[in-house]
Structure 1
Amino acid sequence: MPPKTIAVILAAGKGTRMKSSRAKVLHEVFFKPMLHHVLDAVVQADIEQIAVIVGHQRREVLASIDHYAHLPVIQKEQLGTGHAVLCTKKACAESEQVMILCGDTPLIRPETLQEMIKTHAGAQSTVTLMTTILDDPFGYGRVISDEQGNILEIVEQKDATEEQRKIGEINAGIYLVEREFLFNALRQVGTDNSQGEVYLTDIIAIANRQGHMVHKFVHPEAIDVLGVNSRVELARAHAELQMRHNDKIMLSGVTMYSPESILVAPDCSIGGDSVIQAGVRITGDSTTGREVQLETGVVLHKCRVGNRCRIGAHSVLHNCTIEEEEHIPPLTYRVG
């Protein structure tokens, strides 16, 4: 049997760079809070148990995820990522290995997590770290490797030398660690750094000092591990999820012109051989039949559109039923 795995999701931070009174992980990306995207990826990766570490606005965060099966862990003081994981020791007691993720990485895919677990098992590692390569690694922890490519340590941006800051390989913030080593190592981590915090990243250097196997899982798609720390990155994450969804729709037999400008909510369905022009927005569990023509700028919310309908440009329809082969003139505004 494969080792029993628990996913520990870090969701306790304030997210000061968001310039918001709302906890960062509650900001919506493609129709739901970014934390929900991370939880969905973990669930779809068939990871047995989930612990969510909360701190800032913990009542609001826990209320938003009450429909997910999880163990809540409270970090009363914000003393760093290492301290946050240390708070989960009791929650992790019955698991053999711990996957650690950040609650602000809504683009992570379940198949990536599954592949990382498989790689970790194959390499018989004590620690596996996901990394990726960035053209502009500013703000990320740099992965310091030896000539053979083995990870020696991770150095945070604020603690890095000028030479280390030139390194393009960065810590993607996802770890898979054997439980017993993890909590023993975290008790050894100090706070001698620019932030005065317990860094989770220090477990890499500790593992190397103790002769443990440390493995690197290099993920080639850097966008998948994008951490959302600002409104700019929030917009990038939304655009990426929007295009992933639109790709699925187009591959199902729907034509989209300028798909990057078209927004279709995940709870909506579009019939085959339909054509959607630029700037269309479809939300609210709307459905369309086959061979539907949606012209530029159409907005549908809670609508049912029959086969072979044409909706004229810049029409806004709310809670409407459009019968088969009906044509709606451009600039129509209709409710009910």
Structure 2
Amino acid sequence: MLNILILAAGKGTRMHSDLPKVLHPVAGKPMLAHVIETAKQLSPSKILVVYGFGGDAVPDQFRHENIHWVQQAEQLGTGHAVMQALPFLDPEAKTLIMLGDVPLISVQTCQELLKNQAKLTLLTFAKANPSGYGRIVRNAQDEVVAIVEHKDASEEQRQINEINTGIMAVDNHALSEWLKNLGNDNAQGEYYLTDIVGMASQQGIAVGGVLAANEPEITGINSKSDLASIERCYQQQQAAQLLQQGVTLSDPARIDIRGKLSVGRDVHIDVGCVFEGEVHLADGVRIGPYCVIRNASIGVGTAIAAFTHIDDAEIGKQAKIGPYARLRPGTVLQDETHVGNFVELKNAQVDVGSKINHLSYVGDTTVGKQVNIGAGTITCNYDGVNKFRTVIGDNAFIGSDSQLIAPVTIGAGATIGAGSTISKDAPAGELTVARGRQVTVSGWKRPEKIKK
């Protein structure tokens, strides 16, 4: 049986922020969320989180998670934090103690730690420059016998480059006994969890040590500088995965993924793009520079030009979007649609082959097939209190600088003369002009292209 205990009570003084440290975001979500996600993948019988600074702000962020929250009203050290959680741990279980400010710890590393059969196993790391860190002292049998702080280490011990990460797996029966004897007779007056290593050694109990392979996995965040560094590490990992999947990145150092990005074959992503939430890019999608895409699905062969913002939208195959387009929630574009520069769509459904290429706002609108909406057209969907819908039929042509005052329907094949303000339904197949007054020209025929 496995319990997981995440220590997340610290204030993070060096963050210089009123926000609890573990709520500062890494890749768009609280660093604690990353630790919780890793914990869940280990399939524990329960997850406990010790919180403190910020009061209920931390548990409120995760109220939908199945987590047992334990408050540490006074932050008196890591040992004290574990003491608060001890009554809620299963006596027969092993507990993996994780840190809420170490967001990049991997499932694989945790599994390696849990494989060790010792009653107490520490996750350690061989650091090139261990100055300032507690050293791991091992005996001839390669068992951990002590953690010696840098200031207390001898010259010989200071040559050791294996350091303590603070992450450990411990048998709950043994943990309970060790915590009873934990003291705070030190300069800080705090209870240090690491003191249990010495207790185990004195009792002749072997202490295991598992070396972590990658430094970012065990790096804690204590400052905004640390936060920025870990953010870059995370993004580099994401970029490396995309490259392995065959994505072409113009510059792997200039991409931000703040959620889940899934990709097909032959996808190209230019510099400065940000992906948030769940985004899917199908085969052959090309994303231009400096686009922001959130919770979107983009179909095969679609091209998104520079500086386009897409939020909670669906785009079909072979579409052309941007530059400087904005697709807001509820937008659905079918295949071969065109949405051009400085066009904003909101809750608009646009059918196959339709074009809205310049300087338009189309909101709460159903657009049929092969419709052309001219530059400067807007759908006036809001009367100051309520929203209303515009319907534009197949093959309609909306002249430039038109206003369609909802609720209104433009019939199939209708033409709206440029500069018209349409407040009544426009009949199918006719030219409707409303410049001062609305006139329908019966029998009017749309001009045909002159063959050369």
Q: TM-score, normalised by structure 2?
A: 0.67
Cα distance change on mapping 1:51 and 1:316 into 2, 3 Å: closer
Matching residue within 9, 12, 15 for 2:12: 15
Cα distance change on mapping 1:156 and 1:327 into 2, 3 Å: same
Q: Which residue of 2 aligns with 1:239?
A: 232
Q: Which runs of 5+ in 1 are unaligned?
A: none
Deviates most, 168-177 or 306-315: 306-315
**Is the CA contact 1:45–1:110 (under 8 Å) kept in the aligned structure 2?**
yes
Q: Which has the larger radius of gyration?
A: 2
How far has the Cα of 1:277 moved from its partner? 1.6
Q: Which residue of 1 aligns with 2:41?
A: 44
Matches of 2:295 and 2:344, distance apart in 1: 10
Structure 2: which amino acid aligns with 1:141? G
How far has the Cα of 1:163 moved from its partner? 5.6
How far has the Cα of 1:138 moved from its partner? 4.2
Residue by residue, what CA displacement relative to the aligned partner does 1:283-316 show, whole Å, maximum 9, x if unpaired?
3544433211222223334554332222333444
Cα distance change on mapping 1:140 and 1:252 into 2, 3 Å: same
Q: Identical aligned pairs, as a percentage?
A: 36
What is the alpha-carbon root mean square deviation over aligned residues? 2.3
**Is the CA contact 1:315–1:333 (under 8 Å) kept in the aligned structure 2?**
no
Matching residue within 164, 170, 176 for 1:183: 176
How far has the Cα of 1:191 moved from its partner? 1.8
- 2:254 is aligned with 1:261: yes
- 2:276 is aligned with 1:279: no
Structure 2: which amino acid aligns with 1:68? E
Which secondary structure does the structure 2 equivalent of 1:313 belong to?
coil
Q: Which residue of 2 aligns with 1:291?
A: 284
Q: Describe how 1:209-224 pairs up with structure 2 within 5 A.
A: 209-224=202-217
Q: Which residue of 2 aligns with 1:310?
A: 303
Q: Which residue of 2 aligns with 1:204?
A: 197
Q: Which residue of 1 aligns with 2:344?
A: 335
Q: TM-score, normalised by structure 1?
A: 0.89
Residue by residue, what CA displacement relative to the aligned partner does 1:38-85 show, whole Å, maximum 9, x if unpaired?
111111012221111111113011111222212211212111111111
Matches of 1:138 and 1:333, distance apart in 2: 55
Q: How many aligned residue pairs are there?
A: 329
Deviates most, 298-307 or 202-211: 298-307
Cα distance change on mapping 1:249 and 1:266 into 2, 3 Å: farther
Q: Describe how 1:60-75 pairs up with structure 2 within 5 A.
A: 60-75=57-72
Matches of 2:187 and 2:156, distance apart in 1: 18
Structure 2: which amino acid aligns with 1:47? P
Q: Which runs of 5+ in 2 are unaligned?
A: 325-340, 346-452
Q: Which residue of 1 aligns with 2:447?
A: none
Matches of 1:175 and 1:319, distance apart in 2: 41
Cα distance change on mapping 1:202 and 1:319 into 2, 3 Å: closer
Which secondary structure does the structure 1 equivalent of 2:87 belong to?
coil
Matches of 1:284 and 1:73, distance apart in 2: 29
How far has the Cα of 1:158 moved from its partner? 5.3
Residue by residue, what CA displacement relative to the aligned partner does 1:134-181 show, whole Å, maximum 9, x if unpaired?
123344322123355332211334555566455321111111111111
Matching residue within 21, 25, 29 for 1:24: 21
Structure 2: which amino acid aligns with 1:253? G
Matching residue within 70, 77, 90 for 1:80: 77
Cα distance change on mapping 1:284 and 1:101 into 2, 3 Å: closer
**Is the CA contact 1:9–1:51 (under 8 Å) kept in the aligned structure 2?**
yes
Higher strand share: 2
- 2:140 is aligned with 1:131: no
Which structure has more RCO (C-alpha within 8 Å, separation ≥ 6)? Answer: 1
**Is the CA contact 1:154–1:201 (under 8 Å) kept in the aligned structure 2?**
yes
